[in-house]
Amino acid sequence: MNEQTKQRVREHLSKVMERLVKKRTIDEPFLESDIERNNPFGYYLVPIEVWKGAKFERSFVTSLGQGILEQLGQIIAEGTGATAINQHDTIMTINTWRIERIEEILKSQRGKGKNKKTPNWVGEVQEILSLENQRFEEITVKSDLYVQRQDGKQEYYSFKTVKPNLDQTETAKRDMLYLKAGNPECDPYFALPFNPAGEGNIYKQAHGVPYKLFNMDDDSSVLIGAAMWNKIGDCENTYNELISIFKEVGEIYSKRIKMEYLGL
């Protein structure tokens, strides 16, 4: 990331944290009496500091949700000179045989027993693109992040919680296959902002559900953690630089949270 991009990321994170601190200390402050009233058994068994910390943690997880990470992706992509848009609608006309085959693939992969189909992104795309007829349907796909590179290459990122359920995974894959069916030259990605098993570890150590629909370890359409951020930033150092900015902003707000919220 260049310095201008790094500063935009710092400012974006700082705004998120500023709103969070204000919410928890001024707008909706923690009240011990709420815990005593709503959870009397827990209130008398567990130190109040545990409840206070848990309330802040829930607010933090909500505040730093997918939307914020998608916005960071937009900032980082723009820093490379690309055009980047969050919540981008792509309207395509796709022949009905391709649409039907996409549904058949997803149904077979969600199934059980001998009829279950093993995920193979490249093979599935080739099979879908081989189908031609003269009946068409208009399909709209909403992408969490759309990136058009300076050379015209188009990338579509479907951001998901790092432990998506099967329905979320299926929706993402359907949209990705639609995008390839409508524009074979584009690159759609199943994008997880970090690896819940730890960066560099096998994803399945933490979560196995998406393996029904993707080969999470080998499919080129799956980007997890560093691979995702480095792709968006078009640089192998993007993830490490992003972590450094989080640490930098965190040092400032950790002190404020301890003092203003926890009273330490």
* Cβ atoms of residues 55 and 30 within 8 Å: yes
Assess if residue 111 is contained within a domain: yes
In 28-87, alpha helices (H):
32-38, 40-45, 48-63, 66-78
pLDDT in tens, 197-249: 999 999 999 999 999 999 999 999 999 999 999 999 999 999 999 999 999 99
DSSP state of 117: P
Residue 72 included in any domain: no
Residue with tokens 């707000």: 253
**49 and 180 fall within a common domain:** no
HSE of 54, CA atoms in CB hemisphere, 13 A: 11
Domain count, the chain: 2
Tokens at 229, concatenated: 């951020």
HSE-up (13 A, CA, CB side) for residue 251? 6
Q: What is the mean pLDDT of the chain?
A: 95
**74 within a domain of the structure (yes/no):** no
pLDDT in tens, 57-98: 999 988 887 789 999 999 999 999 999 999 999 999 999 999
Residue 223: give its domain's CATH number: 3.40.1560
Q: Is residue 73 part of a domain?
A: no
Q: Are residues 222 and 261 in the same domain?
A: no
How far is 160 from 172, CA to CA, in rounded Å? 8
Give residue 119's domain range. 81-234
- 219 and 92 fall within a common domain: yes
Instruction: Give this prediction's pTM.
Output: 0.93
Shared domain for 164 and 230, answered yes or no, is yes
